[in-house]
Chain A
Amino acid sequence: MGQQDVDRFERIILPHLDDAYTLARYLLRDEHDAQDAVQDAVLRALRYFEGYRDGDARAWLLAIVRNCCLTWQRRHSADRFNISFSDDSAVDVSDARPADAAAIEASDRAAVNRAVAALPTEFREVIVLREIDGLSYKEISDIVGAPIGTVMSRLARARKRLAAAFGLGAQEAS
């Protein structure tokens, strides 16, 4: 790889750094870990860049970021046992008293972001890839390495939990 390749890499890959960092922030829920994971992912991307064929560069980079984050999380889970990655935390949120719909309308960003942060990783990643990055089911399926049907059912279950956590549909159900 020569300087030309580095220039091409910088032109094609680096514009997606914000999306890469956003995904890492949601997956690792820590800004310093996210920085380390993204730096690692970008260097890996550079080394694999010769294998990159024209396609969606963003989805390609996000797949690498996602893998780096999961590796990061696995290696650190031993000393991070205070953070629960199980479904329990999400249950807490959906069991919580539904927030007032008006309060949510009044831009309660914090509550929405807390509810997403409390989702198990496999739900959180599909929500971020779909709702923030706007990727197709096929792209998400490639990134998380699961069949499209699985992506669909994770999205469905994640949205169901979030709708309950936001107290949406509560007034209609009564």
Chain B
Amino acid sequence: MRCSDCRDVLNAYVDDEMMPSEMQEIREHLATCADCEREHRLLAETSLLLRDKLVRHSAPDVLKARIRNALAQPNAFDPPREVKPQRTWMRLAAASVLVAIVSSAVTFAAARQGTPSRSIADDVLASHIRSLMPGHLTDVASTNQHNVKPWFNGRIGLSPPVPSLDSAAFRLIGGRLDYIDGRSVAAVVYARRDHMINVYAWPTTSRTEETRSETTDRGYHLVHWRNDGIEYWAVSDLNRPELDQFVAAFTSATTASR
């Protein structure tokens, strides 16, 4: 075998992509040719280094949440459409269309149930959906409550409770500022499996304690409650019992820490 013939197929040899008889020929040539054997070792080493050191990424939870959300849409089976270039303004436009659709649905749902703060429910659900778009979920990403809570200082007139709920199997993801019902509010993000939970909090002057209302729309569950002068909304596509469990864990942790 000539060296040039050997070099031509060395990659296939390293990748085990040859017939056994061809492999045998190469093996015999490598045993007698130091130059080709050096080339072979170089290739094998390079391949091994790549296998060993290249990063294998995990699909982020927020991507899984977006995909599950999209799969649940009734139009998920529509024939393929052309992908439109999504410049930032187009994303915003798309978001507002989505927000408009969902908002009206929530409005109807809320109107049917006679819930008072339906425009707030609109805002909360719209904000939750917006938060699942890439790069929108958190301004401060941290699983440590001692990083997330101080981040709100000076950014907003409220230091929201950020309890660690690891013991209840709800992971802290981070926090961000958001805009609900005409005011800046704190949004604290938790996750269970790949379901995101947004908890919105802002100060209230209302004296009524212990109000609690629940809304459900398109697979999203919303819980509203009031505690210690703070208005809370939690929203997620988590199933209802688990979201209730979350709210229970959250309220008991915030009450205990007082």
- Interface residue ranges, A against B (CB under 8 Å): 1, 6, 9-10, 14, 17-18, 20-22, 25, 31-32, 35-36, 38-40, 42-44, 46-48, 68, 71-72, 75-76, 79, 104, 107-109, 112-113, 116, 127-128, 130-132, 136-137, 152, 155-156, 159, 162-163, 166, 168-169, 172
Q: B112 interface residue, CB < 8 Å from A?
A: no
What number of residue pairs across chains A and B have CB atoms under 8 A from each other?
A: 120
B60-115 at interface with A (beta carbon < 8 Å) = 60, 62-64, 66-67, 70-71, 76-80, 83, 85-87
Q: B153 interface residue, CB < 8 Å from A?
A: no
Q: Number of contacting residues on B, CB 8 A?
A: 40
* A22 nearest CB neighbor, chain B only: B57
Q: B2 interface residue, CB < 8 Å from A?
A: no
Tell me the minimal C-beta distance from A41 to chain B in angstroms. 10
For B49, what are the chain A residues with a Cβ–Cβ distance below 8 Å?
Answer: 104, 112, 166, 168
Assess whether B134 is in contact with A32, with CB atoms less than 8 Å apart.
yes
Assess whether B79 is in contact with A47, with CB atoms less than 8 Å apart.
yes
Main secondary structure of the interface of B (DSSP, over half): helix
Tell me the minimal C-beta distance from B169 to chain A in angstroms. 22
Assess whether A71 is in contact with B56, with CB atoms less than 8 Å apart.
no
For B156, what are the chain A residues with a Cβ–Cβ distance below 8 Å?
Answer: none
For A1, what are the chain B residues with a Cβ–Cβ distance below 8 Å?
Answer: 77
Bound-complex Cα distance A5 to B8 (A): 46
For A131, what are the chain B residues with a Cβ–Cβ distance below 8 Å?
Answer: 47, 50-51, 54
Bound-complex Cα distance A128 to B15 (A): 14
Assess whether B57 is in contact with A75, with CB atoms less than 8 Å apart.
no
Assess whether A172 is in contact with B56, with CB atoms less than 8 Å apart.
no
